[in-house]
Amino acid sequence: MTNPFPPALDGAVIPGGCDNCNAEQHLRQDQPGMWSIDIHHDNTCPTWRRIQAQRAGTPDTFKGR
């Protein structure tokens, strides 16, 4: 399997990733050939607040009796 990113990028912090705040993208190699990118938003970011509110709410797929 070809590695999509050079190993030197493991742990890299890249500015950007959100149109509403000064977010940073954190690049991490989880295992060989498997990478993840986490976006770290500002605490005041409206996008981040919306994500938090959605996570705290009842899922749309929940059907109560």
pLDDT of the chain, 65 residues: tens digit per residue: 566 678 888 999 999 999 999 999 999 999 888 889 999 999 899 999 998 888 887 666 666 55
Give the Cα-Cα-Cα angle 56, 62, 65 (nearest 5 degrees). 125
Would you say residue 24 lies in a domain? yes
Residue 61 maps to a domain: no
- Asked whether 41 and 21 are in contact (CB, 8 A), the reply is yes
Q: Is residue 65 a part of any domain in this protein?
A: no
Residue at 30 is within a domain: yes
Would you list the DSSP string of 19-46? SSS--EEEEEEEETTEEEEEEE--TT-H
Can you give the pLDDT at residue 27?
93
Q: Is residue 42 part of a domain?
A: yes
Examine residue 50 and state whether it is found in any structural domain, yes or no.
Answer: yes
C-alpha dihedral sign at 40, 13, 6, 30: negative
- How many independent structural domains does the chain possess? 1
Asked if residue 33 is part of any domain, the answer here is yes
Domain annotation covers residue 1: no
- Containing domain of residue 49, as a range? 7-55
